[in-house]
Amino acid sequence: AQTVTQSQPEMSVQEAETVTLSCTYDTSESDYYLFWYKQPPSRQMILVIRQEAYKQQNATENRFSVNFQKAAKSFSLKISDSQLGDAAMYFCAYRILYGGSQGNLIFGKGTKLSVKP
């Protein structure tokens, strides 16, 4: 069974600094997607960044980037120039691919990120 592990329940970063959130996963599949979602106190899950497993190049979205190590099954999120609005729960997620089906998301337990002014 596929699993996603986030080993850091809480992290803290100073405003304008850089922070890295860790995620490891377990799967026997070769093709899949990995995601980082942000969940602020408003509760709405917001997609931060997406990585296709068949792509070796790490995904980047503005201040957010990932370090995808397929062999190690590691998928960390780096947030540069942290802002107060980055404070939230961050979830790493893996998407199963079943032929023509949509596939559901498997989430880790999350990392609570605090940003200090």
Partner 1 sequence: DAGVTQSPTHLIKTRGQQVTLRCSPKSGHDTVSWYQQALGQGPQFIFQYYEEEERQRGNFPDRFSGHQFPNYSSELNVNALLLGDSALYLCASIDSGTSGGPGYEQYFGPGTRLTVT
Question: Which residues contribute to the site for partner 1 (CB under 8 A)?
Answer: 4, 33, 37, 42-47, 50, 52, 91, 93, 95, 97-98, 100-110
Instruction: Give the CA angle between residues 61, 62, 66 to the nearest 5°.
Output: 45
Question: Both tokens of residue 42?
Answer: 């408003």
C-beta closer to partner 1: residue 13 or 38: 38
The maximal CA–CA distance of the chain, rounded, in angstroms, is 47
Write down the least CB distance from residue 115 to partner 1, Å: 20
Q: 4 vs 94, 110, 114, 116, CA distance in Å?
A: 7, 10, 22, 28
Looking at beta carbons only, is 11 or 45 nearer to partner 1?
A: 45
Residue number with CB closer to partner 1 (16 or 47):
47
d(CA 94, CA 1) in angstroms, rounded, equals: 12
CB of 23 to partner 1, least distance (A): 11
Q: How far is the CB of 117 from partner 1 (least distance, A)?
A: 26
